[in-house]
Structure 1
Amino acid sequence: MSNNGRLNDVVVRIGGEGGEGVMSAGEILTYSAARASYRVFTFRTFPAEIKGGLAMYQFRVSPHDIYSMGDKLHILMAFNQEAFDNYASILADDGVLFYDPAECKPPENFTKRKYEVPLKELAMSAGTHLAKNMVATGFLTAVLGIPIEKSEYQIIDKFKRKGEKILEQNLTAFRSGIEYANRYLDELSMFRLGEPEGKDRRIILSGNQAIGFGAIAAGCKVAVGYPITPASPVLEFLARYLPRFGGKVIQNEDEISALATCIGASYAGLKVMTPTSGPGLALMTELITYASMAELPVVIVDVQRAGPSTGMPSKTEQTDLYHVVFGGPGEAPRIVVAPANVSDCFYETIKAFNLAEEYQMPVIILSDQVLAYQTEAIPKPDVNSIKVVHRLEPDYENQNSEYLRYKITETGLAPIAIPGHPGFEYIAPGLEHNERGNPNYTPKVHTEMQKKRFKKIETLAQTLENENNDYYKVEGAKVLIISWGSTYGAIREAIARAEMQGIKVSHYHPRILNPLPKKKVKEIIQSYEKVIVVEQNYHGQFANILRMFVDYNPIKLNNYGGIPFTSEEIYNKIIEVAK
């Protein structure tokens, strides 16, 4: 808490039934705060049903930088009893409950601060019960001190296409929420945000949108997919924007044909991408290995969700790591990239395209449900400074010898010819083949070709040995945390909290999970007395992969309930291990 009695770092959760506008209210508040230069960080869950079931939108807002969704709630806005019953237990001691008395009755033994907010009644006064989410938006806008004009702008932008009557009803409901909140503002002053620290140029993106933006910046020209939660918004974003940059978006009949189309477009010389989630990735498995065998660049986005099988489509896990590293018939090299936050989703997607083009193989981006829908205000990228890599092509004018698409070289790389150049035709078979691309099953050829394909990924691994961008080393630390993906922010905040208690902790968070720089990983691990590997899966998949390279049994901290780690959970583990 700041010296003026304000929290200046507020975690708000809105809960209600799917279809009541919980997400719309949260998004309007998030974008309004971000446009006022506040830092925001979001987390949401929603039912698998189209309508009904419990939905929740959480946003953390602060004048200064934040890195995770937060721990305890400071504000709970309960649209109904189910929201109260499920979320009141994580309300902080100094938190406050706002609830609609027509839909929610807190028990007598609920001792924390609470205020009735007649959402439905005020919405009806505005002309429609459907606008109760706008009443809540207005109420929270006033409580948090978000500039009213910012929220009004978002409401107008959202509803202007639905006609003047609906727009006016929602604005009236929003203003009635502000008016109702005004009577309590003195009592709730601790939740009013201070001035934001900096007003640098930022853009507001979700993880899925940032992946789409990164694909465009990298030069993607063809995106193909089949709808699946939680990856569909990537394709939706690209469908809206990619054609403006000369690209094409196609919705195919299934995930198999989606990847097959991408591979065909890659053969034709285009940069390609397909987004999916676990069940779709399972269908793509053979074609992933075909892209490895044919040595064609393709980017696959796996937005992980809780499994197995259909699992929990709207919940999160990090359970596809084994699949993306090892899955498929035979041994087929592929690169695996895992962004840590929304900004990473942009830059690591560009990296994925560059790696696919440079090393002529499939690259899989491992995101997850939390990161997919997580919204942040990130520094505006300087697109002019971005390095974009294009595949190695032959010198079409000065080729003095027969073109061998799969020529064995020191690096494993050979130029890829684009169709349409006489004398540079080649077959890209899934069968084992010789340097020309003709099928050949002899032991000698298969041995040579496997060495060639894996030489490319070994070259990348050697390059990674000399990079330290993913390693946060603290002098004197005896504890190391290793992690990957969306756990990054909660870990960074847990480490900062531990440092305030005099406990030093280092952190290794690789963005490239395959290949790993084995020598560097071994040296890092052996520098610490205790190593904790934090993952959102049952087995500790990354911990087990690390054990393949290093004779060390790390401490595992696993979470597989479908909800992300809080920094408090990780902090408590640090304290336990550091004793």
Structure 2
Amino acid sequence: MDLEYPSSELKIKISGEAGDGILTAGDILMGAAARLGYYSSAFKSFPSTIRGGYSQTLVTISEEKIISPISQFDILFLTSPTAFEYDKPPLLNDVWLFIESSILEDTLNNPIIDQWKQAGHKVIKLHINETARSISANTSIKSAVTLAYLCTLLSIPVELIRDLIIGRFQKKGKETVDKNLAALEEGLRQAHKDIQPLCFSLPQKKADNKKRIIVDGNEAISLGALISGAKFYASYPITPATSIGDTLANYLLQTDGFAYQAEDEIAAIGAVIGASFNGFKALTATSGPGFSLIQEFLGYASMVELPVVVIDVQRAGPSTGMSTKHSQEDLYAAVFGGHGEGQRIVVAPNGVQDCVFTTVEAFNLSERYQCPVILLSDASMGMIKQTIDSPKPESIPIVERPVLKHHPENSTYIRYKTGPNQTNPVPVPGISPVTYRVTGLEHDEHSFPSANPVVRSRQMRRRSEKLLGIEQDNPHLMEWDLESQELYEADFSLIAWGFTASIAKKAIDIMRQQGFRIAALYPKLLFPVLTDSIEKLLQYSQLLYIPEANFSGQYSHIIRMYTDAKPHPVTLSRGDPFTPEEIVAYITRRLNIELSVSFS
């Protein structure tokens, strides 16, 4: 019997126990698909414990660029009882279920298995655990056996999988490589017995793989920082942001830069501000509790008007929370965190590819407006691996701060001068011919501390007004999804930000196929609020939905504060992202309610 291969996209979910090599199998499968010329991605979700607990990877293989790495899967590998418990909810569409033999042999599971069969899903027995135990007691060896089944199922060249296994494990030594290769060979023999009649081919594509790279979101952010010309990075390790520092530590030294692991997040942001004072583009990356710790220094950077970039790879909180899990819970903290009314800019990429470009924009905005810029990523986007088109640095605009290089002798430099141009050239030690005071105290235009009410009012106005034109000056930070260049009457409008935006795009595609007319906006600039763009969106429909992965609907409430819009928040706070199907189901249900009310 042949599997029906989707016309352009195939999604394979592998779930099991943490420590059983689930994520490794996903990474190698998506790497194999990429080498065969496909766009591919590997979404990961796992507990913070080293072993035990539910772990999953969702691999997407596509002939086109991937819109959403998250959506309903076509094939499901269930390799442990824990996975069976998590994946018991009703499945959509026709799913091929490859289930470990011990799960099928447990009679308590029969009612669920029978329901799946009656619903039209195909159930195939696997022998992954038994095969792995014949090679090694180390449960991580299961990844190679799982890959053997996938290799057989998709007709992937075995040599390709062998090469990827060697590349993955060679740093762990020859013994580890040999055991995994032996598990692959034994797995292939067993797979031919279990699923050989179900095979279909994943043919080699004629794609120019040299124009594509495989990165995760954190690596893409690091790449964007390097393209921007960043020369200094300081941080304290924290999940899920740590790998940004790992990546930059490897590459900054090759560009005459410097990476520094500080004793805590407060020291890290202080070092970043110091590097910026000395004329270098600088950044830090953190998450959760670390983001709370840097708030005081963010206020300081706003007061002294030095460019700094902060990457917050959000995770589910508060406190330690769920350190490896997805959330969009830090928007309030990014916009309103700290005391006083310091100026800051908040941006968010909407996918792995966009992590590169939005990071560049974070630096550009920071340099242009001389204030902190916070980039909100999240655990899912930070850890998901994806095939992206190689960036072309020469085609990406880079903004450099205006550095004071000349000044008349015997005259005082007016660092914080008020006027039409609310930002002034920045003196840099060793380059500029003048010195100036840098203080967190309120100061006059000459940078002298001042408690004068007139001076205070003037400087507050100047610092605030320098951001007034940010929306008009940066239209590329608004991604529109409209059905026509002409104004039309939509059934509803939608705004989505961050990783949720990529999922919402797929949801909108589904709903348009169902006949709905929709106008959507995916803002990369979250704050200051895009008041003009939101007003434009409401011309298509006043009925506005905003899906976001937090409990309270934070962006919805911020939009209510700054505009006349009355958005309906679509919220989820479970540690995993939305699926497109969940967004479709919620909005469809709400539209039916709105329709019934209008006729009542």
- Above 0.5 in TM-score? yes
Task: Give the stretch that moved more between structures: 230-239 or 47-56.
Answer: 47-56
Specify which of 384, 387, 394 is matched with residue 374 of structure 1: 384
Task: Give the stretch that moved more between structures: 556-565 or 389-398.
Answer: 389-398
Contact 2:36 2:203 in 1 (8 A): no
Contact 2:155 2:199 in 1 (8 A): no
Match of 1:77 in 2: 77
Contact 2:279 2:428 in 1 (8 A): yes
Determine if the alignment matches structure 1 residue 307 to structure 2 residue 306: no
1:67-466 matches, cutoff 5 A:
67-89=67-89, 91-92=91-92, 94-102=94-102, 105=105, 107-109=109-111, 110-111=113-114, 112=117, 113-127=122-136, 129-130=138-139, 131-185=141-195, 187-189=197-199, 192-193=201-202, 196=205, 198-199=207-208, 201-396=211-406, 401-421=411-431, 423-464=433-474
Task: Give the stretch that moved more between structures: 64-73 or 135-144.
Answer: 64-73
Pair 1:58–1:467, CA change in 2 (3 A)? closer
The CA RMSD measured in Å over matched residues stands at 2.2
- CA displacement, residues 39-96 of structure 1 (integer Å, 9 cap, x when unaligned): 2233211111233222222212223332223433332223321111112435445323
- CA displacement, residues 421-467 of structure 1 (integer Å, 9 cap, x when unaligned): 46411121111011221211111111111111112211323424x55
**In 2, Cα distance between equivalents of 1:187 and 1:490:** 35
Pair 1:315–1:208, CA change in 2 (3 A)? same
1:108 partner SS: helix
Determine if the alignment matches structure 1 residue 29 to structure 2 residue 29: yes
Query: What is the CA-CA distance between 1:173 and the residue it aligns to?
Result: 1.1
- Amino acid of the structure 2 residue aligned with 1:545: I
- Amino acid of the structure 1 residue aligned with 2:574: G
Contact 1:340 1:488 in 2 (8 A): yes
Query: What is the CA-CA distance between 1:473 and the residue it aligns to?
Result: 1.6
Determine if the alignment matches structure 1 residue 474 to structure 2 residue 479: no
1:405 partner SS: coil
Number of aligned residue pairs: 575
Match of 1:38 in 2: 38
**In 2, Cα distance between equivalents of 1:397 and 1:433:** 21
- Amino acid of the structure 2 residue aligned with 1:566: T
Pair 1:297–1:338, CA change in 2 (3 A)? same
**In 2, Cα distance between equivalents of 1:296 and 1:346:** 23
Specify which of 585, 592, 599 is matched with residue 572 of structure 1: 585
Contact 2:314 2:378 in 1 (8 A): yes
**In 2, Cα distance between equivalents of 1:518 and 1:488:** 19
Pair 1:218–1:532, CA change in 2 (3 A)? same
Pair 1:320–1:75, CA change in 2 (3 A)? same
Contact 2:27 2:42 in 1 (8 A): no
Pair 1:293–1:88, CA change in 2 (3 A)? same
- Amino acid of the structure 2 residue aligned with 1:55: S
1:470 partner SS: strand
Task: Give the stretch that moved more between structures: 385-394 or 516-525.
Answer: 516-525
**In 1, Cα distance between equivalents of 2:568 and 2:204:** 42
**In 2, Cα distance between equivalents of 1:178 and 1:564:** 34
Q: Which runs of 5+ in 2 are unaligned?
A: 593-600
Query: What is the CA-CA distance between 1:208 and the residue it aligns to?
Result: 0.7
Match of 1:6 in 2: 5
Task: Give the stretch that moved more between structures: 399-408 or 285-294.
Answer: 399-408
TM-score (norm 1): 0.94
Contact 1:15 1:57 in 2 (8 A): yes
- CA displacement, residues 337-381 of structure 1 (integer Å, 9 cap, x when unaligned): 100000110000011011111111100000011111112101111
Contact 2:53 2:82 in 1 (8 A): no
Pair 1:118–1:4, CA change in 2 (3 A)? closer
- Amino acid of the structure 1 residue aligned with 2:43: F
**In 2, Cα distance between equivalents of 1:555 and 1:263:** 39
Contact 2:40 2:386 in 1 (8 A): yes
1:458 partner SS: coil
Percent of pairs with identical residues: 36
1:89 partner SS: coil
Contact 1:6 1:189 in 2 (8 A): no
**In 2, Cα distance between equivalents of 1:555 and 1:160:** 51
TM-score (norm 2): 0.91
Query: What is the CA-CA distance between 1:498 and the residue it aligns to?
Result: 1.4
Pair 1:186–1:117, CA change in 2 (3 A)? closer
**In 2, Cα distance between equivalents of 1:273 and 1:315:** 24
Query: What is the CA-CA distance between 1:17 and the residue it aligns to?
Result: 2.2
- CA displacement, residues 151-191 of structure 1 (integer Å, 9 cap, x when unaligned): 2221111122333232122112112223322345554246x
Contact 2:327 2:379 in 1 (8 A): yes
- CA displacement, residues 404-429 of structure 1 (integer Å, 9 cap, x when unaligned): 22222312101101112464111211
**In 2, Cα distance between equivalents of 1:163 and 1:388:** 43
Match of 1:486 in 2: 499
Query: What is the CA-CA distance between 1:217 and the residue it aligns to?
Result: 0.9
Specify which of 515, 527, 530 is matched with residue 514 of structure 1: 527
Match of 1:499 in 2: 512
Contact 1:337 1:511 in 2 (8 A): yes
1:239 partner SS: helix
- Amino acid of the structure 1 residue aligned with 2:52: G
1:94 partner SS: coil
2:469 partner SS: helix
Task: Give the stretch that moved more between structures: 503-512 or 566-575.
Answer: 566-575
- Amino acid of the structure 2 residue aligned with 1:449: Q
Contact 1:74 1:95 in 2 (8 A): yes
- CA displacement, residues 516-538 of structure 1 (integer Å, 9 cap, x when unaligned): 23223223223314211111112
Contact 2:546 2:568 in 1 (8 A): yes
Task: Give the stretch that moved more between structures: 83-92 or 36-45.
Answer: 83-92
Task: Give the stretch that moved more between structures: 230-239 or 159-168.
Answer: 159-168
Query: What is the CA-CA distance between 1:228 and the residue it aligns to?
Result: 1.0
Contact 2:405 2:431 in 1 (8 A): no
**In 2, Cα distance between equivalents of 1:399 and 1:338:** 44
2:95 partner SS: strand
- CA displacement, residues 89-135 of structure 1 (integer Å, 9 cap, x when unaligned): 35445323333335774522203433332223323444554422211
Contact 1:63 1:195 in 2 (8 A): no
